[in-house]
Amino acid sequence: MAAGAGTISIQPKLETKRQESQFAIVLRRFIRHRLAVISCFLIVLIFGASLLAPVLAPFSPTRLDGTLGGQPRPPGIVDAKGQVHWLGVDNLGRDLYTRVLYAGRISITIAIFVTILTELVGVLIGAIAGYYGGFVDALVSRVTEFMITIPLLPILAIVAKLLIQYNNQLPIPDFIISGVGAILLTPATETPKVIALIIVLVLFGWMGTARLMRGMAFSLRGQDFIESLRAFGASDARIILRHIIPNGLAPIIVAVSLDLGGVIITEAVLSFLGVGVQDPTPTWGNMLSQAQSYMFQHPWLPLISGIPLLLVSLTFNFIGDGLRDALDPRLKR
C-alpha cells in the first residue's frame, strides 16, 4: 500500500530467534536429569576431599598406634593423646578416616588414568579399523574378539601379579614414576606397582571403545563431506584425527563415564584379591580385604570403604545415563 495522507503503511516484522549452540542444548538436557546432576556434585565432593587428604586428614595413612592395635576400634574412639578417630581404627591402630581419604585419591586417580589411556587407545584403533575397512578392519576385529573372549579376571590377576612382582624390571622412566607418585602420594617403592596395575587395566580395557568407534567410523567414512575431503587431497591421518574421531565422540563420552565406575570396581577387586595395590598403600579394595577377617565381630568395618566405593560407582553410572540422554539426537530439544 503506497504511503500517503490518510494511509497506513504496514511493514511485516521479522522476528529473529536466537539459535542455541549444541553445547547449550546438551547442557540443558543434562540438567533435566536430576540424579546425574546430584551425582556430579557428589563425585566432585568425594574427589575434592580425597585430593585435599593431606589437609583434611588428621594423621598419616601409615601411622601406627600401638595402644589401639590388636583389634579394630569403633568410630569415635579416643586415643591416649585425646585425639578422636572419627571412623575408628583398624587392627594395626591406623586411623580409618585418614586411610579412606587417601584410598579415594588413589582409587579414583587410577580410574581416571586408566580410562583416559583406554579411551585414547580404543578410539585410535577403532577409527583406523572403521575408516580403512578390508584387511585392517578384519585384523582388528579378530584381535578384539579374541581379547573379549579371554576370561578377564583370572588373566588380569595373573598378569598383574607378574608385573607387580617384577616391576623393577619394567622400563618406566623416572619422571613418570615421580610424577605419578606426586599425584597419588605413594612411596617411591610402591609407585611402579601402581603404574604396572594401570598398564594391565589399559591392556585389557580398550576393546569396547574400539568397537564403538569402529562402528562410528564405518558409518562416517561414506559421508559426502569425507568424500569431499578426499577429493581436495586431505591425508588419511587428517581425516581420521580431525573429522572421523570428533564426529564419533558422542557414544565415547557416555562410555567414558560408565567405564570410570567399572575401572574403580575392577581395581578394587584386584586389590581385594591381593594382586592390585598392596598394603600399606591404602585403596578401597585392599581396605575391604583387610576388613574381611574382622567383619563378623565388627560388621561396621567393611562399610568404611565399601560405602564410598558403592557411591562413586553409582554416581558415574548416573552421570553416564544423563550424558546418554543429553547426547541422544532423537530426543526433542
pLDDT over threshold 70, residue 5: no
**CA nearest neighbour of 105 among 179, 41, 182:** 182
Question: Tens of pLDDT along 186-196?
Answer: 877 778 888 88
Model pLDDT, residue 279 = 81
pLDDT over threshold 50, residue 14: no
pLDDT band at residue 332 under the 50/70/90 scheme: low
Rank 5-19, 173-187, 294-308 by mean pLDDT and report only the highest: 294-308
Residue with cell string 574403580: 264
The length of the chain, given as a count of residues = 333
What is d(CA 273, CA 275) in angstroms, rounded to the nearest whole number?
Answer: 6
Question: Tens of pLDDT along 39-52?
Answer: 999 999 999 999 99
Strand, helix or coil for residue 200: helix
Which residues 6+ apart lie within 8 Å of 205 measured at CB?
A: 114, 118, 122, 259, 263
DSSP state of 206: S
Find the mean pLDDT for residues 146-172: 75
Question: Tens of pLDDT along 57-87?
Answer: 888 888 888 777 778 888 888 888 888 889 9
pLDDT over threshold 50, residue 16: no
Averaged pLDDT of the chain:
84
C-alpha cell at 40: 556430579
CA distances (Å), origin 278, targets 12, 53, 145, 200, 295: 75, 19, 32, 15, 20
Strand, helix or coil for residue 117: helix
Model pLDDT, residue 113 = 92
Strand, helix or coil for residue 11: coil
Model pLDDT, residue 168 = 59
C-alpha cell at 14: 521479522
Model pLDDT, residue 187 = 79
Pick the residue with more confidence: 158 or 12? 158
Superfamily of domain 23-326: MetI-like (1.10.3720.10)
CA distances (Å), origin 147, targets 63, 195, 203, 270, 308: 42, 21, 10, 19, 31
Write out the DSSP string of 268-283.
HHHHHTTSSSPTTS--
Let me know: does 283 contact 265? Beta carbons within 8 Å.
no
Other Cβ atoms less than 10 A from the Cβ of 51: the count is: 17
C-alpha cell at 299: 560388621
